[in-house]
Structure 1
Amino acid sequence: MTLDLSKRILTDPYSKAPAILLIGKSGAGKSTLANMLIGEKKFKTSDNSGSSTSSSTQICQSALICLDGEEYNLVDTPGIFDTKRPNDKMQNEIARSIVQCSHGLMAILFVIDFQAAGRYTKEQQTTTDAILKFLGGQEESCRHIIVVFTHCRQKQTEDRFFMEEGFSADLKLFLNKIGWRWVIAPDPEIFKEPNDPVVERNMNDLKHYIRLLPIYYTTELFKKVRIAREKELQEIESNEKKTTNEKIDAGLAVAKHEFRGEGCFPLHSKVILTDGRRIEVSQLSIGDKVCCGEKNGKLIFSEIYAVVHTDNQTVTQYQRIDYLKSDGTEGTLRLTPKHHLFVSQGKTIFAEDVRAYETELLLFDGKKLIPVIPHRVTREWELGYTAPLTQSGKIVVDDILCSCYAVAPPYQAIIDFVMVSFRLYSWIMPISDCNKEIHPYIRYLKRGQWVLEQIDYFNTIIKRL
């Protein structure tokens, strides 16, 4: 759905009102809840979006709302932590949501489709953890969360005690963590009458919970975006040619940079050192030697010579690959979708191209590498990433043989050759500290990525002949 920014971001760009943020999966009913809370249809919903191809709104929307004399910025988000990979348009919408929260968070309305999520699955728990970390950590965000259930049946909506009987143990545990603050957004297909008392009662309960919340809070991310936004707005004021849309999107570039799908490995992924110890990849230091495979029954270790970028706050999307180890226990590898990993033919592929029950990966069983076929491939969001480089260009992570490279077309031997210059550079100028920005020399080398892209293009044509 495409709408002009000024028709969906209704908040004054100069407003400093803290946000009431609606989060949840796409199609959960966030936009419908926003309209209920406002008392009029200001937000576009899937029913009136005019789109026949989307089951839900995939845009950021906002409007000012007044509760007990206090002004807040009500922000409706796209499905921020949906498992599908966000495209550029979706990343822009996510960034706009962050911009609209740059003056702090008063309340986080966690919208859950009860019919689809009443059991509160492991995937939903993982998503919840990612949301809490992203919004300032478990302790702070839990003090501001209110759960809003949608798509509930009539009896569940009318009888709170009957509704609670359907809560799973895991859901009850989560609700206890947030102070048992929950309400129902009545289904408009059931409660159709204007000023329906059931709708009014639930919305009044929601407003009551918001009034009882502590003072609004902020995070380092929101502070950074607010500073950038205020600076850009000052620059816009001095330029008469700037448009309303540019005012609305002030700070967008900084927000988008903080929410991305780049990186390599999650911080908690495990690697194997020469003495057999397994440590988290975030604990690696330059000079450490890690397992990178085996040859003729002998383990091979390779030295870490650089960590090209790392960060513990950026929200990153990972490809989650579940497989069975040789002893029957379940293993899990997480890496960014554009990262390379080895398949049994000795080639490398993108992680996003791994297929359950089809792709043969290489599993380290403690002595040698053996083929393994994953039984589940999904997407997850986590905070943080790190990207270590070994002299061999290979590394065993969570018992799976991976490449150290990403993004460029997966031609391991060619990238190894190209990286010789960086290994020489790091030997002359040792790389001690790294940050979230990719090392400038690697950025320089990426200018030659088009060569690999051309090779990949011609290989694709040849395969089709």
Structure 2
Amino acid sequence: MESVTQVCGTAAMSIDGVKYNIVDTPGIFDTQKVTDDVLKEIANAVKKCAYGVKAILFVFEAKRFTDEQKNVLDGIRRFLGEEATNYIIAVFSHATKAQIQDRAIMRKAWNQPVRSFIQDIDNRWGIAPNSDYFPPDDPVHKARLGEIMAFISGMRGVYTTDQLEKSRKEQEEIRRQREEEEKRIKQEYEEKLKETAKKESEEAYKQKIEDLRQEFRAKQEEEEKLRRKEREEAEERFKKTIESIQTENRMQRQQDENLRRAEREAAEERYMKSIEMMRQEHKEQQERAETMFNNKIQEEERRRDRDEKDRREERKQAEETYRSRIEEAEKNLKNRENNETMRLMKEMQDREKKANLEYAKQIEDLRKKNALSQQELEKAKKKGCFSLDTKVQLANGKFIEMEKLQVGDRICSNVRNGELEISEVYLIAHLGHFDHSLSMTNIEFTRSDGQKGQIRTTPTHCIFREDLSILYAQDVVPGVTKILLLDETNELTPVVVDNLITDEDTGYISFYTRAGTVIANNVLCSCYDDCPQSQTLMDLVFAPIRLWTKVFPSNHRQEELHPYAKTLEHIYFNWLINGKRLLGLS
């Protein structure tokens, strides 16, 4: 809407005897914005007031005060400068009768922009009286005009052209800065547009690359799906093949298990047969020994009978000779009859006495031999093997005393190519303490590092020489015999025995490893005692019990000798004693 007033008009009025010129500016609130022409007209009006402007009245309708009007007021205020705010008075026109009559009603009708503007001008506002509601002589009319005049006359100082020029210069500077800012913003905007275009181009390129990558990935995924499908099919075929092989393996294992069971049963049967044969052989040997002993007795009795018969014959012959001699003596020498008779009788008595003594001695010797055989056998049964404090090395490297050994323990038994051989303890023949002292052989030696060592066994326990043959501990010769000693490099080194001492002990243990050997106190020893001095032969003799304990592990850990070892020793000592008898060595 175009403003009604385009140029300024003037009029004179008097307030409290003071003359004022009223300058009517163009209707700035009738336009949508503040134009340069309006501002120029306002500036001319201010310049016409040579003595300055006492008050600046902003007149606007009470019914309409929009954001556009507030923007116009702000534009005028910026044009006039901040100092002009001290001279502005707001005047509301076209008010209702109630609003003219009561200022409070007018105040309630204000919106937020109006309240903000009134506060900015220090609450200087008035209402233009409407003559249609209140004539000029009406008190309300006079009161409203009086309020406006009071604000005008109460103003201190005036708004001058210098202040206007100062404000205009400031506005020009602000405008210049704003133009420069707009130019800078425009330049930045153009650069930003270029940058945006560049980024869009790069984004388009990246998007194209990404599309190609996605296409490539999709192609790869498709190929991967094909490969996965082929792999799954191959895995399925492989699983079927594996299942087929596993089925065949199960069948084969079942067949092998049946075969092993049959072999085990056959081995057990053979073992039982061998045990039965050994028992039968032992029984037969006992019977043969008893038969031989009885035959000896019978032979001695027959020999005694023969001797007795011979003596009777000799006596008879002697008597006949005596009689003949007596008769002859009676015929020849009666004087010598008595002496010759006495001599012959004494000779016969001496022969008979000598024959009886010889027979009694032979009988006593046979009895002593039989008793000695039984004593040797009982003594052999009571012999031990190692002393209980002898140490062995377990598979984990720990050293323990033999007293703590258990069936199933894996211990160091030999050395091959610098590696320790580990063997299982499959049988503890007997273990405990005698109620009497047991003769022990203490073999002393010196290690390669200069430390002294020893090993204590029964006298007839077997140990290894440097040539891997075995001999009894009691047969070791100090300074001559070399035994095999385990050194720090896990090698068996020949060491000369320093000394051989016989002492006594009550503790004993006898056990067997599957290798038949053991490294005790670092000395290579055989597990066998009181036996033929052949490691191979003894390994063969103990083969049945090694096989048996693989199937049926032994839990024997008693003072009494294990039945198998007892049977072997009984057979061996019977053979040994009978062999001595047959050879005439006893």
Higher relative contact order (CA 8 A, sep 6+): 1
TM-score range, shorter chain: 0.3 to 0.5
Structure 2 length normalisation: TM-score? 0.33
- Greater percentage in helix: 2
- Greater percentage in strand: 1
